[in-house]
Chains A and B, each alone.
Chain A
Amino acid sequence: MTQVDDLYTVGDPIADTKAPKDLPIEQIWTRAKFTNKLVNPANRRKLSVIIVGTGLAGASAAATLGEAGYHVKSFCYQDSPRRAHSIAAQGGINAAKNYNDDGDSTYRLFYDTVKGGDYRSRETNVYRLAEVSTNIIDQCVAQGVPFARDYGGLLDNRSFGGVQVARTFYARGQTGQQLLIGAYQAMERQVTAGTVEQFTRHEMLELIVVDGRARGIVTRDMVTGKIESHLADAVVLASGGYGNVFFLSTNAMGCNTTATWRAHRKGAYFGNPCYTQIHPTCIPVSGDHQSKLTLMSESLRNDGRIWVPKRKEDADKDPRDIPEEDRDYYLERIYPSFGNLVPRDIASRQAKYMCDEGRGVGPLVGDFRRGVYLDFSDALSRMSRAAIDAKYGNLFDMYQRITGEDPREVPMRIYPAVHYTMGGLWVDYDLETTITGLYAVGEANFSDHGANRLGASSLMQCLGDGYFVLPNTIRNYLADGPFEPVAQDAPEVIEAVESVRGRIEKLLSINGERTVDSFHKELGHIMWEYCGMERTEEGLRKAIDLIRSLRAEFWRNVRVLGTADSLNQSLEKAGRVADFLELGELMCIDALHRRESCGGHFRAESQTEDGEALRDDEHFAYVAAWQFGEGADRLNPVLHKEDLVYKFIELKQRSYK
Chain B
Amino acid sequence: MNLTLKIWRQNDAADAGRLVDYPVEGITEDMSFLEMLDVLNEQLQARGEEPVAFDSDCREGICGMCSLMINGEAHGPEVTTTCQLHMRSFKDGETITIEPWRASAFPIIRDLVVDRSAFDRIIQAGGYISVNTGAAPEANNIQVPKVAADRAFDTATCIGCGACAAACPNASAMLFLGAKVTHLGELPQGQAERSPRVVNMLNQHDAEGFGGCTNIGECATACPKEIPLDVISQLNKDFRTAKKYAG
Contacts and interface: CB of A to CB of B under 8 A. Distances in A.
Interface stretch (B126-134, B164-172, B209-217): B126-134
A501 interface: no
Interface string A265-289: 0000000000000000000001101
A64 B133 contact: yes
Interface stretch (B1-9, B52-60, B228-236, B239-247): B52-60
A142 B35 contact: no
B38 interface: yes
A338 to B, nearest CB: 28
A200 B115 CA distance: 10
A515 B42 contact: yes
A17 B133 CA distance: 26
Contact of B110 (A143, A286, A566, A570): A566
Contacts of B86: 401-402, 404
Interface stretch (A108-116, A146-154, A349-357, A602-610): A146-154
Contact of A185 (B11, B50, B110, B123): B123
Interface string A56-90: 00001001100100000000001111111101100
A140 B187 CA distance: 13
Contact of A181 (B32, B135, B139, B156): B156
Interface string A191-235: 110000010100000000000000000000001000000000000
Contacts of A152: 143
Contacts of A147: 149
A138 to B, nearest CB: 4
Contact of A198 (B60, B63, B120): B120
B129 A143 contact: yes
A63 B133 CA distance: 8
Interface stretch (A172-180, A410-418, A473-481, A613-621): A172-180
B139 A138 contact: yes
Interface in A76-107: 78-85, 87-88, 97, 99
A404 B30 CA distance: 9
A438 B59 CA distance: 32
Nearest to B161: A83
B96 interface: no
B207 interface: no
A654 B229 CA distance: 53
Select the residue from A79, A150, A291, A567 with max chain B CB neighbours within 10 A: A79
Contacts of A566: 11-12, 110
A188 B128 contact: yes
A174 B57 contact: no
B140 A99 contact: yes
A294 interface: yes
Interface residues of B, number: 77
Interface in B1-56: 11-12, 28-32, 34-35, 38-39, 42, 45-46, 48-51, 53, 55-56
A25 to B, nearest CB: 23
Given A146-B153, A398-B60, A567-B110, A78 B50 contact: no
Given A254-B57, A398-B84, A78 B133 contact: no
Interface string A463-475: 0000110010000
A80 B117 contact: yes
A139 interface: yes
Given A144-B183, A155-B139, A566-B12, A292 B133 contact: no
A379 interface: no
B132 A79 contact: no
B131 A142 contact: yes
B184 interface: yes
A319 B88 CA distance: 24
B32 A78 contact: no
Interface string A127-140: 00000000101111
Contacts of A295: 60
Interface in B144-185: 144-146, 149, 152-153, 156-157, 159-160, 183-184
Contact of B149 (A139, A142, A146, A569): A146
Interface in B49-92: 49-51, 53, 55-65, 78, 80, 84, 86, 88
B88 A404 contact: yes
A155 B144 CA distance: 9
Nearest to A61: B133
B218 to A, nearest CB: 22
Contacts of B143: 152-154
B109 interface: yes
A561 interface: yes
A253 B56 contact: yes
B133 A467 contact: yes
A223 B149 contact: no
B28 A289 contact: yes
Interface in A442-498: 467-468, 471
A186 interface: yes
A336 interface: no
Nearest to B148: A153
Given A67-B132, A569-B53, A144 B152 contact: yes
A342 B61 CA distance: 29
Nearest to A172: B153
Contact of A291 (B35, B116, B140): B35
Contacts of A518: 42
Contact of B129 (A144, A559, A561): A144
Given A188-B124, A517-B38, A561-B50, A292 B59 contact: yes
Contacts of B65: 78-79, 83
A290 interface: yes
Given A189-B128, A198-B120, A253-B56, A177 B157 contact: yes
Contact of B133 (A80, A154, A287, A471): A471
B97 to A, nearest CB: 21
A13 interface: no
Given A150-B146, A515-B45, A85 B35 contact: no
A329 to B, nearest CB: 29
B190 interface: yes
A79 B117 contact: yes
Given A78-B65, A291-B32, A154 B140 contact: yes
B149 A153 contact: yes
A171 interface: yes
B80 A200 contact: no
Contact of B136 (A81, A99, A142, A171): A142
Nearest to B160: A82
Contacts of B119: 80
A83 B160 CA distance: 9
11 contacts: A78-B65, A79-B117, A87-B63, A135-B136, A138-B136, A143-B189, A144-B129, A153-B145, A171-B156, A289-B28, A404-B88
Closest 10 CB pairs of A and B: A142-B136, A185-B128, A153-B143, A146-B153, A138-B136, A141-B139, A64-B133, A83-B63, A252-B57, A567-B110
Interface of B: 11-12, 28-32, 34-35, 38-39, 42, 45-46, 48-51, 53, 55-65, 78, 80, 84, 86, 88, 109-110, 113, 115-117, 119-120, 123-125, 127-140, 142-146, 149, 152-153, 156-157, 159-160, 183-184, 187, 189-190
Given A185-B129, A291-B38, A515-B46, 7 more contacts: A83-B58, A146-B149, A146-B187, A171-B156, A189-B124, A398-B61, A566-B110
